[in-house]
Amino acid sequence: MVGDGFSATLYGDVGGFGTGANIDWQGVATVAFAVNPGTDVHLGFRSLNFDYTRPKAGFNVHMYGPVLAATFHFWP
């Protein structure tokens, strides 16, 4: 929690290493604001890279862009 209803998230992972893909990775950074006790709104950026290469086929993509999301909390 950063304060005054704001929070920040940083996330990243790396994988593949020749098993499913040669290499894949992603990174996400968001800032969230608690609109009310049951709703958070998130704004951030995500970058995702995937490289799958085989002798007769291949797929290499790098997707990136803004993230806009909401989280709803439900209590019993």
Q: pLDDT tens, 23-70?
A: 889 999 999 999 998 999 999 999 999 887 777 777 888 999 999 999
Q: Is the pLDDT of residue 1 over 60?
A: no
pTM beyond 0.95, yes or no: no
Q: Is the pLDDT of residue 7 over 70?
A: yes
Domain borders along the chain are 6-72
Unique residue bearing structure tokens 């609109």 = 35
Q: Please give the average per-residue pLDDT across 3-27, as a whole number.
A: 86
